[in-house]
Amino acid sequence: PKDANRAFANIGPANSFFTVAFEDNFPIVGDGDYNDFVAAYGITQVRDSQNRIVSLTGFVEAVSEGSSSDHEFGILIKHQGLKAKLTVTNYDHNFSQLSERTEDNNNISDIVLFESTDQAFVTFNQGGQEYAFGQYRTFTLDFETPALESQLDNIPFDPYLFVKETGYDVHLVGKAPLPESNNPSATIDWQFL
């Protein structure tokens, strides 16, 4: 309350997490069980005393993977006309820090959270039963100048799964494929339906 530059925090979703579950057979209709990769994430918007967004912080957990394919999981956040510093911190299943990276972004941040979903889990065998525990990621996107609502995408932003074997990527409804995608219409104004 004493810092006019960081006065409020809006959590999305309130007191919970978004859960995204992907099928990786795109563009072929998959088997429909949505278990190829599952992640949970929450994002906090930190606002100044004028209700402008000064930073976004996120917490992400790899929940499960039921695919033989390897993927990259990330979140795209558009911030039109704004520069931002991104920091991503990688944690293991015990929440011990593994690594951290920073980068500067203009207009859009492609926040790669799990470079390999195959490596996002640690498996243990105990008493003949196999258990898998997911890793965690946090990220902070600090804007050089405070952002207005109109300059940012809306939460939940654009979580995506990039399938390494096929070069296809899967997004939420109404979002465009990645520029480097092999999706059938990646070069034109095409969105997921």
Among 76-90, 126-140, 175-189, the least confident range: 175-189
Determine the Cα–Cα distance for residues 97 and 154; give it in Å rounded to an integer: 29
**Proportion of the chain above pLDDT 90, given as a percent:** 66
Does residue 192 register a pLDDT over 70? no
- What pLDDT does residue 186 have? 55
Q: How many C-beta atoms lie closer than 10 Å to residue 178's C-beta? A: 20
Q: How many C-beta atoms lie closer than 10 Å to residue 141's C-beta? A: 26
At 15-46, the pLDDT tens digits run: 789 999 999 987 776 677 889 999 999 999 99
Which pTM value belongs to this model?
0.91
Q: Do 177 and 186 contact (CB within 8 A), yes or no? A: yes
Determine the Cα–Cα distance for residues 121 and 131; give it in Å rounded to an integer: 10
Q: What is the three-class DSSP state of 151?
A: helix
- What pLDDT does residue 134 have? 96
